[in-house]
């Protein structure tokens, strides 16, 4: 800095002028050294003059932002906006800068190019966004190629969409907070009015006494009251840490009835520890979760046991060495808002109906806490349930567990189950298995959708599982998170279909239609009847502890199991003795092909003995899912026997990533017409029969022990559903006597055994004839 140059710290215009002069001086240094010295001398003289003026006249407060910054700042701003790189100093910058300014001013302003997406592009982008809000580069390129867009356009669209969703969510949260604030303001005003109008309980006068006018005892009572109030607040804070709610809500937890043998403190600690473990396991990735199996193009995650032991050293107790550990995780987006989903999970009847293919029976033993008023935050229940597979060859899994629901600070909800074995005073644990922290983490999404991350972590004794189903059970697909998530997604689609209005449901083929669904009420009644049929079928084909199966010695390789039940005063079943018969066997054909064959009306005569080879006409069809195979149908069998010309069949076909079902039942024509007109379906008697189709668990086309694919048969992995074979369970329910007190005859058992054996042989013959794209299977 040249000697004698002074820069007053408070003279901002002079400093700006100095900086501009120095910049101009540096720019013109190569042109004229003498002009540069002259400019510097002029700047120093002006600097001293300005400093003297400032001492005589203190600067006045700026009346505007432009006055405070000075004219030089305005010049700099104008030059910056013009796009010029030339900065002027105390002297002029020359004619070059002026010509550049004139050239720039003559250029026309560029117009931004806008691209509007077509309606089809927007619909496809919206649909893809629901599944993958954060697509990777490969997905963006594929999507851009399909929609005729640039990858950068797709990237910007997803960025804008995520910003829009976040803005909408923040706006919704702001509205909720504003409403809560107004509510608190109104409550505060009410309290102020009450205090202002308070009166003395003794004399009725205004309560204006001060501490100096109180008695000594009253003063000490008030001090003690304040101390106790602080103690209550402290305990409430501690309790809120453990149960996520104030202590006065959980303080009423009294263990009695089924929960009388548990320690209250241990119950709370177990529920809290299980919730923390579930949330962490739902959010963490590798190395805790590792990809282990690919099914139909989807990777199934399994738990890294070593990493789990390091990450959860205490957990909810050590693992039992005599039990096999099984853990999996699956994420799915379902068409149901989080409020309704939480309500269905916390209501045992709705929960067992929602997962009727998995839960054979369930009950709430004790409601330990109902949660905060208005929702289930902090709700705690003691429950018992039995989990099933649709085959009498797989034993059910029973568990008694706590179910704890909590809302977290980020707005997400979690529902966790954890077994209570070991909490009783006796300290005895269940011998058949244990349910470690399992459940789901639910996140709200726009348009009534929810993102559900399901975690299933159990220890089970599978020694009694039949060899035919052992690969499927050991793979984790039988009772794992993938099956729970798939069942939830399918049932949510089914409920959305039942609640829809204005959806036509008519015959898929020509001809006269008797009893076609013509109203929304009739549609819902028919779906309710089909739901009860599916629940009855699933509950009647499992190896539940409440079932007494008797094994029959069949002539073929399959063993038929039969069971009898008496129906008395049950409006949903005909009165009398009902005979259940079921068998399971392996087919060297992918499940998707078997499902397509069994649900096809054109090939029904190849396996359905009851139709006597007659044609089947679909009278009504109600789609209840995205997959075209998910539907409820009303069928009419037209055969040569005129006595059965009015026979109607109610049928539901459902499929997901873990299994498929074709379930049907003969229905009375008069009763079905009542249902089609919106009548109560609970009084229609049903005896459902049908098929449960599951993958064999091999994943590579291998056969279970004791079977082999015929060498001259086509391969099993060439069609839909991927490679591998199918595990098919055939089950019938037949009324053998209308008198409940009658005895079961051996002739009835032989007839049912012959019926089921003939059906199995017809299905195998269709496979051998390549009617469903598979090869043969023979016992080794």
- Region of poorest pLDDT, from 72-76, 523-527, 696-700: 72-76
* pLDDT at residue 702 greater than cutoff 50: no
Cβ(588)–Cβ(777) below 8 Å: yes
Q: Is 592 exposed, middle or buried (0-12, 13-18, 19+ CB in 10 A)?
A: buried
* pLDDT tens figures, 21-77: 434 443 444 444 444 444 445 555 555 454 444 444 444 433 444 443 444 444 434
* pLDDT tens figures, 63-121: 444 443 444 444 434 443 333 343 344 444 444 444 434 444 445 555 555 568 888 88
Residue 762 CA: distances (Å) to CA of 60, 666, 725, 769:
104, 21, 18, 10
Q: Closest Cα partner for 647 from 683, 621, 677, 615?
A: 615
68 φψ region: left (φ > 0), alpha (ψ -120 to 50), beta (else): alpha
Cα(158)–Cα(132) distance, integer angstroms: 10
What is the pLDDT at residue 350? 92
Q: What is the mean pLDDT of residues 667-695?
A: 88
Q: Closest Cα partner for 412 from 447, 452, 361?
A: 452
* pLDDT at residue 546 greater than cutoff 90: no
Cα(525)–Cα(531) distance, integer angstroms: 10
What is the pLDDT at residue 427? 43
Cα(316)–Cα(418) distance, integer angstroms: 9
134-150 in b/e form (b: 16+ CB < 10 A) is ebeeeebeebbeebebe
* pLDDT at residue 274 greater than cutoff 60: yes
Please tell me which residue, 11 or 675, carries the higher pLDDT value. Answer: 675
* pLDDT tens figures, 600-617: 888 888 888 777 767 788
* Average pLDDT over the chain, rounded to an integer: 74
**618 band by pLDDT with thresholds 50, 70 and 90:** confident
Cβ(413)–Cβ(442) below 8 Å: yes
407 φψ region: left (φ > 0), alpha (ψ -120 to 50), beta (else): beta
* pLDDT at residue 260 greater than cutoff 80: no
* pLDDT tens figures, 220-259: 676 767 766 665 665 555 555 444 444 444 444 445 555 5
Query: Residue with structure tokens 């898929």?
Result: 508
Q: Closest Cα partner for 562 from 575, 549, 571?
A: 549
64-88 in b/e form (b: 16+ CB < 10 A) is eeeeebbebbeebeebeeeeeebbb
Alpha helices in 477-629 (DSSP H): 481-499, 520-540, 591-599
* pLDDT tens figures, 141-196: 988 898 888 889 899 999 999 999 999 989 998 998 988 888 888 888 887 777 77
* pLDDT tens figures, 191-227: 777 777 766 655 655 554 443 444 556 666 767 677 6
Query: Residue with structure tokens 């893809």?
Result: 128
699 φψ region: left (φ > 0), alpha (ψ -120 to 50), beta (else): left
* Percent of the chain predicted with pLDDT > 90: 20
Backbone φ, ψ for residue 168 (5° rounding): -60, -40
What is the pLDDT at residue 347? 93
- Between strands 324-334 and 726-737, the pairing is unpaired
Please tell me which residue, 647 or 271, carries the higher pLDDT value. Answer: 271
What is the pLDDT at residue 474? 86
Tokens representing 642? 């005129």
Tokens representing 665? 């039942």
DSSP sequence for 302-350: EE-HHHHHHH-SSTTSPPPTTSEEEEEEEEEEESS-HHHHHHHHHSHHH
What is the pLDDT at residue 595? 92
Sign for the CA dihedral angle at 115, 121, 126, 131 comes to: negative
Please tell me which residue, 744 or 88, carries the higher pLDDT value. Answer: 744
Tokens representing 750? 């032989």
Cα(752)–Cα(616) distance, integer angstroms: 23
Cα(662)–Cα(534) distance, integer angstroms: 9
Helix (H, G, I), strand (E, B) or coil at 34: helix
Packing angle of the helix pair 95-106, 71-82 (nearest 10 deg): 50
- Between strands 433-435 and 450-460, the pairing is antiparallel
Tokens representing 664? 């049907």
Cα(243)–Cα(345) distance, integer angstroms: 19
What is the pLDDT at residue 311? 84
Cβ(673)–Cβ(519) below 8 Å: no
* Percent of the chain predicted with pLDDT > 70: 64
Helix (H) or strand (E) holding 726: strand 726-737
* pLDDT tens figures, 399-432: 899 999 999 988 899 999 999 876 654 444 445 7
Q: What is the mean pLDDT of residues 726-753?
A: 84
Q: Closest Cα partner for 662 from 533, 493, 494?
A: 533
* pLDDT at residue 526 greater than cutoff 70: yes
């Amino acid at each position: 800095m040249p000697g004698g140059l002074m820069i007053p710290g408070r003279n901002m215009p002079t400093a700006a002028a100095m900086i501009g002069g120095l910049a101009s001086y540096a720019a013109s240094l190569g042109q004229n050294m003498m002009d540069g010295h002259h400019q510097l001398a002029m700047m120093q003289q002006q600097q001293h003059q300005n400093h003297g003026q400032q001492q005589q006249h203190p600067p006045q407060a700026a009346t505007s932002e432009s006055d405070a910054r000075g004219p030089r700042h305005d010049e700099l701003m104008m030059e910056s906006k013009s796009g010029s790189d030339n900065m002027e100093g105390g002297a002029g910058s020359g004619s070059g800068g002026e010509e550049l300014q004139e050239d720039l001013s003559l250029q026309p302003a560029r117009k931004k190019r806008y691209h509007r997406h077509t309606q089809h592009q927007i619909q496809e982008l919206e649909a893809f966004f629901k599944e993958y809000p954060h697509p990777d580069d490969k997905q963006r390129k594929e999507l851009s190629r399909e929609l005729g867009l640039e990858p950068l356009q797709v990237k910007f669209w997803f960025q804008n969409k995520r910003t829009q969703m976040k803005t909408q969510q923040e706006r919704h949260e702001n509205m909720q907070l504003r409403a809560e604030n107004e509510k608190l303001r109104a409550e505060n005003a009410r309290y102020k009015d009450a205090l202002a109008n308070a009166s003395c309980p003794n004399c009725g006068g205004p309560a204006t006494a001060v501490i100096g006018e109180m008695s000594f005892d009253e003063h000490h009572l008030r001090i003690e009251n304040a101390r106790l109030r602080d103690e209550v607040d402290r305990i409430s804070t501690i309790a809120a840490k453990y149960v996520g709610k104030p202590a006065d809500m959980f303080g009423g937890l009294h263990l009695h009835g089924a929960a009388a043998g548990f320690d209250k403190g241990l119950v709370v600690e177990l529920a809290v520890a299980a919730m923390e473990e579930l949330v962490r396991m739902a959010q963490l990735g590798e190395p805790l979760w590792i990809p282990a199996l690919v099914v139909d193009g989807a990777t199934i995650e399994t738990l890294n046991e070593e990493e789990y032991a390091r990450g959860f050293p205490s957990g909810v107790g050590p693992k039992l060495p005599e039990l096999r550990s099984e853990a999996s995780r699956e994420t799915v987006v379902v068409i149901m808002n989080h409020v309704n989903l939480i309500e269905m999970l916390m209501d045992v009847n709705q929960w067992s109906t929602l997962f009727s293919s998995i839960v054979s029976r369930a009950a709430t033993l004790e409601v330990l806490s109902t949660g905060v008023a208005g929702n289930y935050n902090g709700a705690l229940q003691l429950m018992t349930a039995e989990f099933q597979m649709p085959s009498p060859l797989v034993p059910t899994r029973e568990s008694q567990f706590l179910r704890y629901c909590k809302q977290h600070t980020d707005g997400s909800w979690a529902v966790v189950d954890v077994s209570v074995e070991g909490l009783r005073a006796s300290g005895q644990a269940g011998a058949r298995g244990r349910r470690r922290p399992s459940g789901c983490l639910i996140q709200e999404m726009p348009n009534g959708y929810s993102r559900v991350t399901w975690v299933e972590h159990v220890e089970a004794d599978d020694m009694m599982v039949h060899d035919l189903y052992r690969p499927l059970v050991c793979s984790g697909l039988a009772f794992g998170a993938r099956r729970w998530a798939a069942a939830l997604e399918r049932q949510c689609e089914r409920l959305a279909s039942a609640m829809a209005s204005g959806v036509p449901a008519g015959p898929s083929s020509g001809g006269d239609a008797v009893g076609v669904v013509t109203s929304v009420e009739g549609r819902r009644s028919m779906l309710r009847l089909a739901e009860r049929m599916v629940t009855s079928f699933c509950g009647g084909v499992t190896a539940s502890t409440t079932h007494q199966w008797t094994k029959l010695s069949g002539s073929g390789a399959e063993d038929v199991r039969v069971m009898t039940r008496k129906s008395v005063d049950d409006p949903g079943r005909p009165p009398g003795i009902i005979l259940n018969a079921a068998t399971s066997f392996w087919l060297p054909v992918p499940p998707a092909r078997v499902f397509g064959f069994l649900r096809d009306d054109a090939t029904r005569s190849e396996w359905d003995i009851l139709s006597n080879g007659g044609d089947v006409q679909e009278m009504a069809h109600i789609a209840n899912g995205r997959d075209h195979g998910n539907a409820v149908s009303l069928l009419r069998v037209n055969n040569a026997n005129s006595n059965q010309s009015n026979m109607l069949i109610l049928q539901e076909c459902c499929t997901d990533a873990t299994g498929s079902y074709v379930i049907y039942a003969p229905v009375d024509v008069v009763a079905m017409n009542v249902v089609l007109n919106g009548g109560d379906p609970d009084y229609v008697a049903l005896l459902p029969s049908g098929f449960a189709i599951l993958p064999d668990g091999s994943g590579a086309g291998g056969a279970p022990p004791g079977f082999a694919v015929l060498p001259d048969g086509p391969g099993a992995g060439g069609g839909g559903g991927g490679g591998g074979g199918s595990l098919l369970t055939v089950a019938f329910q037949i009324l053998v006597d209308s008198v409940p007190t009658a005895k079961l005859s051996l002739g009835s058992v032989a007839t049912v055994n012959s019926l089921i054996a003939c059906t199995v042989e017809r299905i195998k013959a269709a496979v051998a004839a390549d009617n469903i794209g598979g090869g043969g299977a023979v016992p080794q």
